A = this chain, B = another copy of it.
């Protein structure tokens, strides 16, 4: 990736993902997916709203995010602060495995993806386990 700006790289990646899906290429989808791909941690609706300025409506942003999750292009992390954060799924480079742990910073509220995975325990009879999620809490680099 020579003189191409990072932004453009992610924009292109985003477009490629969308065309792979046979989905409609729209400004909002490209921008949101590119932002998620570029981010090193899950972004909240609020984060994205700021980053994208008024590229699209608040509601559209919600809908695009929901759509991305639906299409398995992103996944949703629910935080202690009752806001959802979104991560682009990286199928090519599996930076983090599926069901990887999330670190929630008690200081700034940010969420980070970790390599660690949840070890799946046994559950009582009658319960059907489908997924396990490991949540870590503490202070991130900035807040320590």
Tell yes or no: A91 within 8 A of B by CB.
no
Are B127 and A138 in contact, with the CB atoms below 8 A?
yes
Complex Cα–Cα for A103 and B120 (A): 12
Min C-beta distance of A44 to chain B, whole Å: 13
Interface size class of A (residues with CB under 8 A): 20 to 34
Query: Digit string of A75-89 for contact with B (CB within 8 Å is 1, else 0)?
Result: 000111010000000
Segment touching B, from A22-30, A61-69, A129-137: A129-137
Tell yes or no: A119 within 8 A of B by CB.
yes
Tell yes or no: A122 within 8 A of B by CB.
yes
Min C-beta distance of A83 to chain B, whole Å: 8
